[in-house]
Chain A
Amino acid sequence: MTALAVAGLHAGYDPDLPIVKGVSFDIAKGEAVSILGPNGAGKSTMIKAIAGLVPCFGGSVRLGRTDVTGLASHVLVRNGMGFVPQTENIFTRLTILENLQIAAQLLPKSERADRIGAMLDMFPDLAARPGELAGALSGGQRQMLAAARALLTEPEVLMLDEPSAGLSPKLVGQVFDTLRRISEAGVTLVLVEQNVRAALALTGRALVLVDGKLAHDGPTDTLHDGKLLGELFLGHRAPEAST
Chain B
Amino acid sequence: MNPQAIIDGLISGSTIGLGAIGLTLTYSILRFANFTHGDFLAWGAYLTLTVAGILGGLAAGLGAPVYPFSFGWGLPLAVFGGVLLTVALTLGLDRILFGRLRARGADAIIIVMASFGASMALRSLLEFIFTAKPAYFTKALQIAKPLGLGMRATPDQLLVIGLTAVLVVILHLLVTRSATGRAMRAVSENPSLAGVYGVDVENVIRVTWIIGAGLACIAGVMAGLLVQIRPYMGFDLLLPLFSAAILGGIGSIPGAMLGGLMIGLAEAFAVQIVGAEWRAAISFVILVLVLMLRPQGLFGQKGA
Contact = CB atoms under 8 A, between A and B. Distances in A.
A binds B: yes
Interface of A: 51-53, 72-74, 77-78, 83, 85, 88-94, 98-99, 101-103, 105-106, 149, 153
A56 B193 CA distance: 19
Interface of B: 179, 182-183, 185-186, 189-190, 192-201, 301
Given A74-B201, A149-B197, 11 more contacts: A53-B195, A77-B197, A85-B196, A89-B193, A91-B197, A93-B301, A94-B182, A98-B182, A99-B197, A102-B183, A105-B198
Contacts of B197: 74, 77, 91, 99, 102-103, 149
A92 B196 contact: no
A101 B179 contact: yes
A94 B195 contact: no
Contact of A74 (B182, B199, B301): B199
Contacts of A74: 194-201
B31 to A, nearest CB: 15
B192 A94 contact: no
Contact of B186 (A83, A89, A102, A106): A102
Contacts of B193: 85, 88-91
A91 B197 CA distance: 10
A91 B196 contact: no
A103 B196 CA distance: 9
Given A74-B200, A74-B201, A105-B179, A91 B186 contact: yes
Nearest to B203: A74
A101 B179 CA distance: 8
B196 A83 contact: yes
B196 A77 contact: yes
Nearest to B176: A98
A146 to B, nearest CB: 9
Contacts of B301: 93
Contacts of A149: 197
A77 B182 CA distance: 18
A102 B294 CA distance: 31
Contacts of B198: 74, 77-78, 102-103, 105-106, 153
Contacts of A89: 193, 196
B110 to A, nearest CB: 18
B2 to A, nearest CB: 42
A93 B189 contact: yes
Contacts of A78: 198
Nearest to A100: B197
Nearest to B185: A94
